[in-house]
Amino acid sequence: MGTSVRLWRLVRTHTRAFSTTRRQLDNYAFVGLGQMGFQMARNLQAKLSPKDNVRLFDVNRGAMERLAQEMEASQAGGAAVSFADSASDVAQAADVVITCLPETKHVKTAYTSILESFRSSSNSRLFIDCSTIDPSSSREVAASASAYGVFVDAPMSGGVVGATAGTLTFMLGAPEHLLPRIEPILLRMGKRVLHCGPQGSGLSAKLANNYLLAINNIATAEAMNLGVRWGLDPKVLAGVINVSTGRCWPSEVNNPVPGVVETAPASRDYAGGFGIALMRKDLRLALTAAKEAGARLELADKASQVYEAAESDERCKGRDFSVVYRYLGGKE
């Protein structure tokens, strides 16, 4: 069956009966159906009411086709679904626009098209950008969107596993008075919304956290490698650290030594998890934002070098960032 036929059938299956009592906030647009967005859009659609509409768009038509197939197969009900041909088409009738795109340049391109599509200004339209980009670019996009609605940043943590299970944590940068409107939307795709302050502050919080994570991960790999080389059993060493002052998420949950934590990526050849490329991206964004704020980061350049070198090592490329332990020559 061809793409257009299948998409058309899906739209027909989900199209709601005409209603004269139009509720506020029933038209959603979702842009960016990649690893995260695909699962988020699926959860959002399934948890909305049949009275709602979701219009979806990705520059990759294959992603839309896959999502159409999945929604058709699941018969989960939820909102009526349609697929757009362009970013300018996807949001025209939307009250809420959600974007989940790879980098700043994609967010800027998408919003240029989206904003051009509006014929009238509005202060009730809501733009929720879940992409991880730098806070000042996010503020720029927010300023250009201001005539057409309110733009907020809601980067997330929890990875593809959390996006699939609908258990993401969102770090929200938004005016306080909009929380009652934004939270229920995000909670259809996640389980926690942490309001960090005004627009841009969700991204600042996310980048500060991920900077710390980048350093903790390398330090944990070094400390574990050190202990093992001194003859310590890695499980014993992790047990000591995890009730002592060195305890951190990489030591306790994502321990880099295979077999210490059975559920950690290290115990499955570092597959899945948080890829080195994403860690490098977040570090780069944190460095940019730190320079703008005049904040001194002594360890950032070194950490970036470590991740860059690990990424170019064939044994480590594309794996969870805890693979730094392997890069250091840790015993597996």
Residues in the site for ligand NAD, rule: CB under 6 A?
A: 31-37, 57-60, 63, 87, 100-102, 106, 109-110, 131-132, 156-157, 159-160, 278, 281
Q: Tell me how far, at minimum, the Cβ of 245 lies from ligand NAD, in Å.
A: 28
Give the span between the Cα atoms of 238 and 261, in whole angstroms: 9
- Angle subtended at Cα 287 by Cα 39 and Cα 182, rounded to the nearest 5 degrees: 40
Our CB check for ligand NAD shows the closer of 35 and 209 to be 35
Our CB check for ligand NAD shows the closer of 59 and 223 to be 59
Give the span between the Cα atoms of 53 and 45, in whole angstroms: 8
Report which residue's Cβ sits closest to ligand NAD: 34
Give the span between the Cα atoms of 122 and 112, in whole angstroms: 16
Which of 267, 83, 274 has the alpha carbon at shortest distance from 163? 274
Q: Tell me how far, at minimum, the Cβ of 112 lies from ligand NAD, in Å.
A: 9
> Is 105 among the residues known to form the active site?
no
Phi, psi angle pair for 10, to nearest 5°: -65, -45
Which of 144, 66, 135, 155 has the alpha carbon at shortest distance from 109? 144
DSSP state of 168: E
Our CB check for ligand NAD shows the closer of 321 and 327 to be 321
Q: Tell me how far, at minimum, the Cβ of 185 lies from ligand NAD, in Å.
A: 17
Q: Tell me how far, at minimum, the Cβ of 272 lies from ligand NAD, in Å.
A: 10
List 108, 206, 291, 317, catalytic entry: 206
* Helix segments in the chain, DSSP class H: 3-14, 35-47, 61-74, 87-90, 104-116, 135-145, 159-165, 179-186, 201-229, 234-241, 249-252, 276-293, 300-311, 324-327
Q: Got the DSSP string for 244-292?
A: STT--HHHHTS-SSTTTSTTSGGGGTT-SSSBHHHHHHHHHHHHHHHHH
Our CB check for ligand NAD shows the closer of 236 and 277 to be 277
Q: Tell me how far, at minimum, the Cβ of 107 lies from ligand NAD, in Å.
A: 8
Our CB check for ligand NAD shows the closer of 238 and 323 to be 323
Our CB check for ligand NAD shows the closer of 53 and 99 to be 99
Q: Tell me how far, at minimum, the Cβ of 133 lies from ligand NAD, in Å.
A: 7
User: Which residues are catalytic, by number?
Assistant: 206
